[in-house]
Every structure is written in structure tokens, then in C-alpha cells.
Amino acid sequence: MIPVYGYEGRKVAVLGLGRSGLATARALEAGEAEALCWDDSVEARETAEAEGLTIHDLTKADAFEGVSALIVSPGIPHLYPEPNKIIARAWDAGVPVDNDIGLFFRSLGAGDWMDNDTPPRVIAVTGSNGKSTTSALIHHIFESAGHRTQLAGNIGRGVLDIETPEEGEVIVLELSSYQTDIARSLTPDVAVFTNLSPDHLDRHGGMGGYFAAKRRLFAEGGPDRAVIGVDENEGRYLANQLVEGFEDSRLIRVSSGQKLGGPGWNIFARKGFLSEWRKGRQAASIDLREMSGLPGAHNHQNACCAYAAARALNLPPKVIETALASFKGLPHRSQLVGELNNVRYVNDSKATNVDAAAKALQAFPRIRWIAGGMGKDGGISALQPHLGAVAKAYLIGFSARDFALQIGDTPYEICETMEVAVAKASAEAEPGDTVLLAPAAASFDQYPNFEKRGDAFVAEVEKLM
């Protein structure tokens, strides 16, 4: 646990008692603050009370008297589509609002571990797609290299729930826009921006607000080194904002698909090869093509980002290459579930938006595509240029019929359920095909989350084996 420093003897309200909220309350108490906890859910309040935490009704008019700060869980909207009423009340009362990420960075620098010869270092990863795989890959690289490392944030455990950092430890954080948007302190040693595509737009009031939330990781305190994916204009803009000139080594530019030039520090992947260039000279090259845990151009971008983060902390290229080759991938993210009769079954349930699905559809030569669910604003018409490898689409969920109208001349079948879709796709698949779950939609019409949807796909595939 990371005790929260700076609130000793003071009252701090905690709104939302899920995983991060409970960890925050415990960390506040460990730092000798008094945590006042609230959640709209009776069950959540009972769980907190059973731990000995203090329940404090934040809906009451005088709830913020004597309170020094309000710490909110990431799922609670603070501005768009409209402010949570309790957060708005804290504003009116002049009570600072923060989250566990802000408390983490505030407290990490105040711990005894900072007196080590080599204090712990933090690599924080944000972006629209690939940030989970990139974070897990960075963690894997340092672990494979013999470094103590922990993975937390939007993946793994809550940031305040990690173990006490040790000498030279590397802490890897995956941070969503929900987490970066409100944190009052963001000071990683290395910050990574993978890419940007439309997502969570209602929560951020549009694309500009969404990018602004991501950008805060690089503006609120600022990292010592920044790794920026420059395949979109937002990444190019952000990279330009962070440096004094092309040769500024605080910036590592990353791309998948284009060769990056100039005297700066550049890492890119083309035709399956990762290349590192510094000061106009090639420093390293890695063949990614046979790395089964990193299929497709989108995973090559993840590999470039992870490689860059590791190089920023001075790991040698050969050590990183060995670790990349042993990476097995993450569940629900281009996960190879199995192979039967020379047909591969790949679970990319995390491909919940058009951009992520497009990347998955470009990773395999001939595809039986399972898609659908709760469609997002804008539909999937933008996927039409990426459907060339799709032999047939098998559409499920609430938006199945809407999707059928948006995929042009691609053959399709309305399957409704995962069970029917997997059965149909496997029956019609030919040797060399890939049965790919890349929904391009949210899961909430049929499943509580993308993980459960992916589990359903895996369960149906396992029936075939």
C-alpha cells in the first residue's frame, strides 16, 4: 500500500467505493487521515463499513463541513454530460476534488523509498487503443530483464494498493482519460501516448475534451521523457508542444507504418521490422513478424511504444528484443484462443470501437468476422475500407442489423448470439482462415463488460476443440 501523505489529522471524503475507492480509503487511513466514505450503492457502503471504514452521507447539505478534499472514483462524471451532484456541491463548498491517481503521485514522492540510491520510477501509459497491451508489455520487459516491477492503474490493481516500492523498482501505470482528466498531480518519469481515436466523447464533451484529458499527463508537471505516437495529428501536435527542437532527446517519436526521419530519437515499425534511429543513425532493428504475442500492425505500434519506454530507462535493445519474443499477449486483445484444422480463433473483444476493430481486421489475411453489440455513435461505416480480408461477417447483439447496413458488399449473416456466430463461422471456415471476434461495439446489450463477452467467445471455441 502507498500511504497518502499531506492529509494527516484531516477529513477527506471518498466518493465511490469500488476497487479504487476502497483502496483510496485504506491508503488515506494509513496516512493518518480520516476517510469519510460514500457510495450510492447500499451494498458498497456495507462492504466498506464491514472493513471498519467510516460511512458519511455526502448528499446532506452540511456534508463538506470540515472536509479538506473530495476523492472521486474514475467512473463518476465531473463535468460532462453533467457534473455529479456531489462533486458540484464540493465545488460550491470550495473543497478540492482529486482522484487516486493524483494522490498516488503526490504521495509517491514523499515516501521513505525516495531516499534509496535509485528511487522508484514510474512509466505512465495513455491513449485510445493499445494502452493495456503496451503497459503489460513494458511490465513484461522489465520483469524479464530482472527488474522488480509492478503493474497498476486501469489494469491490474489500484495505484494506491501496490506494494511498497523497492530500490530501483519500475512502476507501470495504465491511465484512462477518466483517470487523467481530474488528477491534480501527474508526474511520471516516462509518459507514453499511444494514439487517439474517438471514444468516451459524451464523458469529455467531444473530441477536443477527450484529447485534452489525455494531454494532461504531459502538461500537469510533465514527464522527464515522453514517448508519443505520431500517426495522428493530435500526436504530432503533442510532440511539437513538448520539445525545443528536433534534436531534443526528451521526446521519442513512435510510428507504425511510416519511416520517421530527422536528427531526433525515432522508433517505428514497417513491414514487420522495428527500427530505432537516433541522431540520424540506426541504433537497432528487431524482426517482429514471428512474435505470436504481437500480431498485426497495431501490436507492432504497441511494441514500438513499449520498446521506447524501456530505452528511455536505458535497457539495452537485445534485452528488450528477448522480452518481446516471450510476450504471450493479453486476454481479449488479439488473443490466440486456439487452432483447429488450420483455422485460428482470435479473441479481440477489447476492440470496442471502430479504430480498434480496423486494426484487428488488418492483422490477418482471411477473416470470418464476429462483430456487433451495442453500437457507438457514428456506426461502423468507416470500417468499409478495412473489410477486404473479410470472407464473411457474423453479426450479433443489439446493433447487428444496423451493422449489416453499414458494411457494403461484405457477405454477412445475422446470428444474434455468440453461440450461433461461432458455430456458423467455424462450420464455414476454410484452412488458413481466422475466426476473429472484433466487435466494434460495446458489450452492454448482452454482457456486463468486454471481458465477459470475450470469455463467452473462448467458451464456444473450446467446445470445438
**What are the binding residues for ATP?**
127-133
Which residue, among 119, 150, 123, has the nearest Cα to 305 in the 3D structure? 123
Report how far residue 255's alpha carbon sits from residue 363's, in angstroms, rounded to the nearest whole number. Answer: 16
Report how far residue 47's alpha carbon sits from residue 53's, in angstroms, rounded to the nearest whole number. Answer: 9
Q: What are the binding residues?
A: 127-133
- Rounded to 10 degrees, the C-alpha dihedral 103/64/60/83 comes to -50
Report how far residue 435's alpha carbon sits from residue 323's, in angstroms, rounded to the nearest whole number. Answer: 28
Q: Cα 389 to the chain's mean position, in Å? A: 27
SS3 129: coil
Where do we find the cell 456487433? 372
Where do we find the cell 516491477? 149
Q: Residues near 414 by Cβ (< 8 Å), separated by ≥ 6? A: 395, 400, 401, 404
CB neighbours of residue 203 within 10 Å: 18
Q: Are 308 and 375 in contact (CB under 8 A)?
A: no
Q: Residues near 52 by Cβ (< 8 Å), separated by ≥ 6? A: none
Q: Is 280 left (phi over 0), alpha (psi -120 to 50) or beta?
A: left
Q: Residues near 274 by Cβ (< 8 Å), separated by ≥ 6? A: 267, 268, 284, 285, 286, 288, 300, 303, 304, 307
Where do we find the cell 512502476? 171
Q: Are 31 and 38 in contact (CB under 8 A)?
A: no
Q: Are 353 and 199 in contact (CB under 8 A)?
A: yes
**Cell numbers for 204:** 469529455
